[in-house]
Amino acid sequence: MQTITIKDFEDWRRVARTLIANATAPSEVQLFEDDGQQALFTENPQPLPSPSDQPGFHVPSRFLSLAEAVGCHRAAARWDLLFRALWRIKNEQRNLLEIETDDDVLQLTKMEKQVRRDTHKMKAFVRFRKVVQDAEEFFVAWHQPDHRIVRRVAPFFSRRFSGMNWTILTPDESVTWDQQTLDYGRGVTRGQAPQSDELEELWRTYYASIFNPARVKIKMMKSEMPVRYWKNLPETELIPDLLADAPRRVEQMIERHEGFDKTADDFIKRSSDQVNTLPVLKQMAAGCTACHLHCEATQTVFGSGPANARIVLLGEQPGDQEDLAGDPFVGPAGQVLDDALHAAGLDRTALYVTNIVKHFKHTLISSPETSRPPRGKKRLHQKPNAREVRACRPWFDAEWSCLREAETLICLGATSATAILGPGIKLADKRGQVCSSDYCQQTFVTWHPSAILRAPNTAARESKMQQLIDDLALANEAV
C-alpha cells in the first residue's frame, strides 16, 4: 500500500487530484499528517507519482467548502476520509453529500461542525494584551483551539483589527499582522505568552457592566463559554462573585421596577376611613393597567374564596378559560386541582385560590377550529417574566392582608414559588417540606396542575399527580 504525507489542505488537494488522475483507489493508499513522526509508525512514505494526462474534473462546491473545514480538524484520519468521499463522488455517486445517513457523510458533517464551532470560539475568546517595545505598541494573545484553525481565523482578525500590530499564539502555530500582511510561524506554549496588562481591567469592567443576573443560565453559559477557556479570559475571574451576587441584583432590579413605570400599588386606593376587603380589591383590580398584559387579556382574574380561609393556593396566572370566565382554576388545570384536593381531603370552597399574576399572558397561533376571540386564533399560554410578576405582586400582598386567618400558603409551580421564596428556588428540591416565607411559617411548594397535564406519558402524569396530592395532604395536616 502506498503511503503519502500531507502538510495542509492545499497539499491534500494536489495529492488528491493526482491520485484520482492515476485511478488510485482509496484502498490502495494511506494519507498521513506531516508532523515529523509518521515515519516512526509507518513504512517510509513514498513519493507522489506523476499525474496522468487525464483531464481535470469538477466536484460540488459544497464538498470543497466542507473539505476545507474538515482539513482543519485534528483527527489524523481526516485526509483518508476526505479522499474516500472525493473518490466516491467522482466515480460512484455524484450526490453523495445529499445522503445524510451515509457513514462518511455523517462523519464529515460532524467534523465540519466541530471546526465551525471551534472557529466561533476563537473569534469570541481571543483576548489581546498590550506589549510596549522600543516605544511601540504591540498586542499579543494566546489561545488554545481544539483544532488547527489559525489560518482559517486569522483573516477575520486582520479585518477586525486592521489598524493594530498583533500576534496570536497557539500551541500549533502563530500568526502576526503588521497592518499589511499575515505572517505564520511556529507554535508556542502558554508560558511564552504575556501574562497581564492594564487592558485586563478594562475587560473586567466591561463584562461586569453587561452581566445581567436575571438572564444568566449556568449550563448555557458554560456551553457557550467553556471552562477550559476561562484561564485566558480576564473577565472570568469575576464570574463566581457575579453569580453569587445574582439573586441580590435581581431583587434590586425588580425593586427599581425595571421595565415598568407602575405597579399594582398605583391602583390600590388606601385611606384612613376605608378598610379594603377582598370584594373592594377585586373591583380595584378590574381597572389595573400596571403592565402591558391587560391589553390582550379579556379581564382581570382575581382570587376567589372565603375571607376566613386558613389555606391559600397561589398559582402562576389565569389560563385561556379562566380569562374568559373571570375565575381562577376553572379550566383543565382547575379540574386536575379539584381532583387532587378531593384526594387530599380538602374542600375547595373553604380555600382561597388566586394567582401571582392576574392577567392572561399568551401568544396567538392559527386555529381554524375555534371562534373564540380573536376570531380564528388560538391563545397559547406564555410564562410571565420577573417584571410582570413584580408589577402584579401588590395585588397578592393586598389579598393576603385581607385573609387574616390564613396560616398556610401553597405555591403551585415555579413562578409563584420564586415570587414568594426568592430567585433560584428549585421546585423539585423544595416540594414535600415546610418552608418559611415572609407571608407565613407554613409555606409549601408543589407542582402546578398544568405541569401534570404537560407530562410526557401516563407514568409521569400519575407520579406528579400523586406528589401533588401528597403535598396538599401535608399542608392540610399542618393547619
Report pLDDT for 377.
67
Report pLDDT for 39.
42
Report pLDDT for 130.
80
Count CB atoms within 10 A of the CB of residue 409. Answer: 25
Report pLDDT for 423.
81
Cα torsion through 400, 386, 330, 373, rounded to 10 = 130
Report pLDDT for 138.
81
> Which residue type is seen at 258?
E
Report pLDDT for 479.
76
Between CA 452 and CA 467 the distance in angstroms is: 10
DSSP string for 233-256? -GGGGGHHHHHHTHHHHHHHHHHT
Report pLDDT for 40.
42
Q: How far is CA 433 from CA 342, 411, 430, 442, 478, in A?
A: 21, 12, 6, 9, 11
Q: Model pTM greater than 0.85?
A: no
Report pLDDT for 222.
60
pLDDT in tens, the chain (479 residues): 789 999 889 999 999 999 998 899 999 999 988 755 444 444 555 555 555 455 567 888 889 999 999 999 999 999 999 999 999 999 998 899 999 889 999 999 999 999 999 998 898 888 888 877 667 788 888 888 999 999 999 999 999 888 888 899 999 999 999 999 999 998 888 776 665 555 555 555 544 554 555 555 556 556 655 666 556 655 556 566 656 666 666 555 555 545 566 889 889 876 545 568 999 999 999 999 999 999 999 999 999 999 999 999 999 999 999 999 999 999 999 999 999 999 999 999 999 999 999 999 998 875 444 445 555 568 888 999 988 998 999 999 999 999 999 999 999 999 999 999 988 788 888 998 999 998 999 999 999 999 999 999 999 999 999 999 999 999 999 87
Report pLDDT for 248.
63
Phi, psi of 135 (to 5 degrees): 65, 10
According to DSSP, the residues that pair with 378 across neighbouring strands are 365
CATH code 3.30.70.1150 for 264-478: no
Burial code (b: 16+ CB inside 10 Å, e: under 16) for 422-439 equals ebebebeebbeeebebeb
Between CA 12 and CA 19 the distance in angstroms is: 10
Q: Where in the chain is the domain with CATH 3.40.470.10?
A: 264-478
Q: Give me the residue label for grid cell 382561597.
A: 352
Kindly give the residue spans of alpha helices, DSSP state H, lying in 182-313.
Answer: 199-210, 218-224, 239-244, 246-255, 278-285
Among 424, 436, 443, 260, smallest CA distance to 357 is for 260
Kindly give the residue spans of alpha helices, DSSP state H, lying in 22-102.
Answer: 61-70, 78-91
List the grid coordinates of 467. 406528589
List the grid coordinates of 432. 414535600
According to DSSP, the residues that pair with 411 across neighbouring strands are 314, 445
